[in-house]
Amino acid sequence: MADISIRKVAKSYGKTSVVEALDLDIHSGEFIVVLGPSGCGKSTLLRMIAGLEEISAGDIAIDGTIVNRLEPRERGCAMVFQNYALYPHMSVADNMGYALKVAGVAKAERLARIGRVAETLGLTALLDRRPAQLSGGQRQRVAMGRAMIREPKVFLFDEPLSNLDAKLRVQMRIEIRKLHNRLSATSIFVTHDQVEAMTLADRIVVMNAGKVEQIGTPLEIWHRPASRFVAGFVGMPPMNLLEATVETDTRVRLADGTPIDTPPLALRPGTPVVIGIRAEDVRVGAAVNDPGLVLAVDFVEQLGAAALVHGRFGGHDFVVTAPAALAEGAPEGLALGIDPPALHLFDAATGRRLATVNDAAALARPAVLAPTA
Amino acid sequence: MIERTPILNAVTHTVLFLGFLVAVLPFVVVAVAASHDLFHVNLVPMPLLPGGHFWENMTEAWTRADLGHKLLNSLIFAGGVAAGKVFVSAITAYAIVFFRFPGRQAIFWAIFVTLMLPLEVRIVPTYAVAANVLGPYQTILDVTGLTDLIAWISGIRLDLQFGLLNSYTGLILPLVATATGTFLYRQFFLTIPDELVEAAKMDGAGPIRFFVDILWPLSRNNVAALATIMFLWAWNQYLWPLLVTTDPTHATAVTELKQLIPNVGGVPEWNIAMAGTLIVMLPTLLVVVVMQRWFVRGLISTEK
Ligand SMILES: Nc1ncnc2c1ncn2[C@@H]1O[C@H](COP(=O)(O)OP(=O)(O)O)[C@@H](O)[C@H]1O
Ligand SMILES: [Mg+2]
């Protein structure tokens, strides 16, 4: 259990800045997921917390102690690596027990602790094997065991599931979350997979190009993406983002002239904005009463329960989720309905979210927006 | 890759077999010559079937050249050189690959350049240093006039002497540094994933523990390969042992073979000379046979 506080931490290699003045407060026992595209500096952030990478500026404190100058072993963190990084010449037991051996723990106690961790992870039968004789999922477990055995204050995971097949990934994801709940350590989990982030996190930190875009609970991130980047990154399929110009207080016009009603805006007419709407928030089919809005269908992805209909709308690529039956038979056009409350609005220049009554409405739903200090 | 190519297989096997014959023929000649008496070995052409004096010739060669003692010397010399090279090149490559320090690249290139300076090229200065390890310092003192100054002040004339001639140290030490070995290790160390190094750091292992617990066990194939090559290389050294060991108590088996070679005008006892050659070759053969498996693995080094 440990608080982690990150103050104006930056990292640069020579002139290239990889992480820029980053602030983050992590509460004891929290499960934080750092989410972002490849190359945005997630691993660098994690490795700075671990002590594997020097920080160029700022302070990192674990449990109130500034650890900037401490060696990794003095920080009380354990790490699970993307490629597991097991010692190829050691047995599973020795791999897990190595940290204890280095720390000078007596053999009897070491074996007892290896036994306990192996049992938790279902590795008891594999203790004498070498890493090369294990499957990917088993190696993953050994890597977890190696991290757990020291009973660290902080668990750091660097994309630990990305080398597993889809089924195993889901299974390990659940196990990691269960373990976290049981061990009550603080966990920081880095991934580029938004599903992992949504399912695992107490809070998600969305990063882009070395900066934090948004910090919030999975539902906050989902319902109130703080920027155009977050809106486009979180969600499968990604949120539809359309360029538009403000016309009146409650209406914008798309690039091709299509008018869209919006929640009340306090913007001057003529201001360029970006409107966003998720595929599943668009109403489709017969019940639609906005006769002007039609999706020119390109192709349909049948998912069984529903279908993703891809096409062009308002001069942009556009995706909607439609009932499977409606999408059948490859319709050429699909009538759309866009409810003003379902719209997200972003500043065209900065990409930041523009406050609307929509957000105020969201505030009324407590589950969606439990403000975090 | 599995392919069915019977004709190609036949051709490859023929070529291999011819190569084998070419390689093994000299050994056969040596062995046959070592089994004849003085008369038969000097017949022209020499009989190609073995005679009955093999054991007799072997014992004669063994006692005449004092091979028991000389083989032991060779073993100490070649073993020492191999062990020294394996260790020195491992820690050199460790420093170059895993640590960031100023001048790292410069040191690496300096080592690289010594590849072009084999022992034969630098044998005179190497001999001078071995004859008196402190010689270069004496020279510095002489040239700067410090010797005179000290003599004038204290009345004692400095004469630094520390010779390594006729000692195992003198035989071994100058041959221990090796660019080849450093390279072999460097290439291997570069294949070690960064994550493994970091995992060890997270587990609390410092640089020495990492080297001993992880790097060294992982490089055991390279150790075997390098040790084999270097042992054979040192065993077959002729020039350096000849120069450094003027006194036969430290001479190696290879240099002592010359005791068995008939002098001009002497009795042409080639049978004895060949018997001695066989004896001196035997240990290298054993090393190759025993180490071959490791040796090949260490050189291909794709195993993870
Ligand atoms: N040693 C280094 N020197 C220079 N640039 C680096 C170094 N390590 C990482 N980077 C750069 O830092 C950026 C962030 O890397 P990283 O944190 O690994 O990203 P990711 O979010 O994919 O984990 C990348 O653009 C990468 O090229
Ligand atoms: Mg990464």
State pLDDT tens for residues B28-37: 999 999 999 8
Give the mean pLDDT of B137-143.
84
Q: Flag the least confident range among A93-97, A150-154, B72-76, B161-165.
A: B161-165
> Residue A275 has what pLDDT?
93
Pairwise CB contact (< 8 Å): B201 & A102: no
* Pairing outcome for strands A203-208 and A316-323: unpaired
Give the mean pLDDT of B183-212.
93
Can you tell me the distance from the alpha carbon of A36 to that of A48, in angstroms, rounded to the nearest whole number?
Answer: 17
Pairwise CB contact (< 8 Å): A52 & B204: no
Can you tell me the distance from the alpha carbon of B245 to that of B164, in angstroms, rounded to the nearest whole number?
Answer: 10
Give the mean pLDDT of A166-184.
89
The CA-based dihedral angle spanning residues B123, B125, B127, B133, taken in that order and rounded to the nearest 10 degrees: -150
For every residue of B12-24, DSSP letters joined together read: HHHHHHHHHHHHH
Can you tell me the distance from the alpha carbon of A7 to that of A26, in angstroms, rounded to the nearest whole number?
Answer: 11
Can you tell me the distance from the alpha carbon of A174 to that of A196, in angstroms, rounded to the nearest whole number?
Answer: 10
The CA-based dihedral angle spanning residues B300, B87, A88, A107, taken in that order and rounded to the nearest 10 degrees: 160
> Residue A199 has what pLDDT?
93
Q: Let me know: does A63 contact A102? Beta carbons within 8 Å.
A: no
Chain A residues inside the 8 Å CB shell of B193: 83, 85
Please determine, for residue A358, whether its predicted confidence score (pLDDT) is greater than 60. Answer: no
Paired with A254 in beta bridges are A244
Query: pLDDT class for A370, splitting at 50, 70, 90?
Result: very low
User: How open is the CA angle A77-A83-A88, to the nearest 5 degrees?
Assistant: 95
* Closest to A62 (Cα-Cα) out of A208, A188, A216, A229: A188
Using CB atoms, pick whichever of B196, B202, B304 lies closest to residue A78.
Answer: B202
Q: Let me know: does B178 contact B230? Beta carbons within 8 Å.
A: yes
Q: Flag the least confident range among A49-53, A129-133, B253-257.
A: B253-257
Can you tell me the distance from the alpha carbon of A86 to that of A133, in angstroms, rounded to the nearest whole number?
Answer: 12
CB contact set of B154 (below 8 Å; sequence gap of 6+): none
Structural domain contains residue B259: yes
Please determine, for residue A360, whether its predicted confidence score (pLDDT) is greater than 60. Answer: no
Please determine, for residue A274, whether its predicted confidence score (pLDDT) is greater than 80. Answer: yes
Can you tell me the distance from the alpha carbon of A124 to that of B227, in angstroms, rounded to the nearest whole number?
Answer: 39
> Residue A369 has what pLDDT?
37
At A94, the amino acid letter reads D
> Residue B75 has what pLDDT?
94
Q: What is the pLDDT of residues B40-89, one digit of tens each?
A: 888 888 888 888 889 999 999 999 889 999 999 999 999 999 999 999 99
Q: Return the ligand 1 atom nearest residue A159 CA.
A: 23
> Residue B200 has what pLDDT?
95
Q: Flag the least confident range among A84-98, A312-326, B286-300.
A: B286-300
**Which of A13, A54, A83, A94 should be substituted to probe chain B, the one whose Cβ sees the most B Cβ atoms within 10 Å?**
A83
Please determine, for residue A363, whether its predicted confidence score (pLDDT) is greater than 60. Answer: no
Q: Hey, what are B26's tokens?
A: 């000299």
For B212, nearest residue in chain A (alpha carbons): A102
Distances (CA, A) of A322 to A160, A206, A344, B267: 34, 29, 20, 106
DSSP E strands in A97-194: the ranges are 154-158, 186-191
Which ligand ends up closest to the CA of A206? 1
Q: What is the pTM assigned to this prediction?
A: 0.82
Is the Cβ of B191 closer than 8 Å to some Cβ of chain A?
A: no
Number of neighbours of residue B9 by Cβ within 10 angstroms: 11
State the residue range of the domain holding B148: 6-300
Which ligand ends up closest to the CA of A15? 1
> Residue B180 has what pLDDT?
87
* Ligand 1 centre distance from Cα of residue A143 (Å): 23
Please determine, for residue A328, whether its predicted confidence score (pLDDT) is greater than 80. Answer: no
CB contact set of B58 (below 8 Å; sequence gap of 6+): B34, B275, B278, B279
Q: Let me know: does A149 contact A114? Beta carbons within 8 Å.
A: yes
Using CB atoms, pick whichever of A71, A77, A85 lies closest to residue B199.
Answer: A85
Please determine, for residue B116, whether its predicted confidence score (pLDDT) is greater than 90. Answer: no
Chain A residues inside the 8 Å CB shell of B209: 102
Structural domain contains residue B234: yes
* Closest to A255 (Cα-Cα) out of A247, A245, A269: A245
Which one is predicted more confidently, A367 or B92?
B92
Query: pLDDT class for A355, splitting at 50, 70, 90?
Result: confident
Is the Cβ of A81 closer than 8 Å to some Cβ of chain B?
A: yes
Name all residues whose Cβ lies below 6 A of ligand 1: A 13, 16, 18, 36, 38-44
* Closest to B94 (Cα-Cα) out of B211, B193, B257: B211
> Residue B92 has what pLDDT?
93
Chain B residues inside the 8 Å CB shell of A47: 198
Please determine, for residue A144, whether its predicted confidence score (pLDDT) is greater than 80. Answer: yes
Q: What is the pLDDT of residues A53-112, one digit of tens each?
A: 999 999 999 999 999 999 998 999 999 999 999 999 999 999 999 999 999 999 999 999
* Closest to A77 (Cα-Cα) out of A138, A191, A1, A12: A1
Which ligand ends up closest to the CA of B100? 1
Residue nearest atom 6 in ligand 1 by C-alpha distance: A13
CATH number at residue B203: 1.10.3720.10
> Residue A291 has what pLDDT?
64
Which ligand ends up closest to the CA of A44? 1
- Only one residue has tokens 């084998």, namely B20
Pairwise CB contact (< 8 Å): A102 & B196: no
Paired with A202 in beta bridges are none
pLDDT > 70: percent of chain B? 97
Is the Cβ of B192 closer than 8 Å to some Cβ of chain A?
A: no
Total number of domains constituting chain B: 1
Chain B residues inside the 8 Å CB shell of A82: 195
* Ligand 1 centre distance from Cα of residue A16 (Å): 10
Residue nearest atom 19 in ligand 1 by C-alpha distance: A39
Please determine, for residue B302, whether its predicted confidence score (pLDDT) is greater than 60. Answer: no
> Residue A361 has what pLDDT?
53
Is the Cβ of A132 closer than 8 Å to some Cβ of chain B?
A: yes
Chain B residues inside the 8 Å CB shell of A103: 204
Q: Return the ligand 1 atom nearest residue A19 CA.
A: 14
Pairwise CB contact (< 8 Å): A77 & B201: no
Pairwise CB contact (< 8 Å): A103 & B204: yes
> Residue B84 has what pLDDT?
95
Half-sphere CA count of B53, side-chain side, radius 13 A: 17
Can you tell me the distance from the alpha carbon of B178 to that of A46, in angstroms, rounded to the nearest whole number?
Answer: 40
* Closest to A198 (Cα-Cα) out of A223, A163, A168, A162: A223
Chain A residues inside the 8 Å CB shell of B198: 47, 50, 52, 79, 81, 85
Report the residue among A16, A18, A33, A206 best suited for mutation to probe ligand 1: largest number of ligand atoms under 8 A from its CB.
Answer: A18
How high is the mean pLDDT of chain A?
89
Can you tell me the distance from the alpha carbon of A135 to that of A137, in angstroms, rounded to the nearest whole number?
Answer: 6
Is the Cβ of A13 closer than 8 Å to some Cβ of chain B?
A: no
For A96, nearest residue in chain B (alpha carbons): B203
Please determine, for residue A357, whether its predicted confidence score (pLDDT) is greater than 60. Answer: no
Structural domain contains residue B1: no
Using CB atoms, pick whichever of A51, A79, A88 lies closest to residue B304.
Answer: A88
Chain B residues inside the 8 Å CB shell of A83: 193, 195
Is the Cβ of A99 closer than 8 Å to some Cβ of chain B?
A: yes
Can you tell me the distance from the alpha carbon of A61 to that of A6, in angstroms, rounded to the nearest whole number?
Answer: 6
Q: Hey, what are B248's tokens?
A: 């036969």
**Which of B203, B210, B214, B222 should be substituted to probe chain A, the one whose Cβ sees the most A Cβ atoms within 10 Å?**
B203
Half-sphere CA count of B264, side-chain side, radius 13 A: 0
> Residue B13 has what pLDDT?
93
Give the mean pLDDT of B117-125.
85
The CA-based dihedral angle spanning residues A75, A81, A85, A86, taken in that order and rounded to the nearest 10 degrees: 80
Pairwise CB contact (< 8 Å): B209 & A50: no
3-class SS string, A334-364: EEEECCHHHCEEEECCCCEECCCHHHHHHHH
Residue nearest atom 1 in ligand 1 by C-alpha distance: A13
Q: What share of chain B is helix, strand, coil (3-state, %, to 5)?
A: 70, 0, 30
Give the mean pLDDT of A259-264.
88
Query: pLDDT class for B2, splitting at 50, 70, 90?
Result: low
Q: Let me know: does B184 contact B221? Beta carbons within 8 Å.
A: no
Q: Which helix (H) or strand (E) holds B139?
A: helix B135-144
Please determine, for residue A366, whether its predicted confidence score (pLDDT) is greater than 50. Answer: no
Pairwise CB contact (< 8 Å): A72 & B193: no
> Residue B263 has what pLDDT?
80
Q: Hey, what are B257's tokens?
A: 């073979």
Can you tell me the distance from the alpha carbon of B191 to that of A71, in angstroms, rounded to the nearest whole number?
Answer: 25
Structural domain contains residue B285: yes
> Residue B46 has what pLDDT?
82
Q: What are the strands of the beta sheet with A16-26, ordered from one edge?
A: A16-26, A4-13, A57-62, A65-66
How high is the mean pLDDT of chain B?
88
Please determine, for residue B247, whether its predicted confidence score (pLDDT) is greater than 50. Answer: yes
Please determine, for residue A166, whether its predicted confidence score (pLDDT) is greater than 80. Answer: yes
Is the Cβ of A103 closer than 8 Å to some Cβ of chain B?
A: yes
Chain A residues inside the 8 Å CB shell of B196: 85, 87
Please determine, for residue B293, whether its predicted confidence score (pLDDT) is greater than 90. Answer: no
Query: Could you say which DSSP state residue B261 is in?
Result: S
Pairwise CB contact (< 8 Å): A89 & B218: yes
User: How open is the CA angle A310-A316-A320, to the nearest 5 degrees?
Assistant: 30
Q: Let me know: does B35 contact B51? Beta carbons within 8 Å.
A: yes
Structural domain contains residue B238: yes
Give the mean pLDDT of B220-235.
90
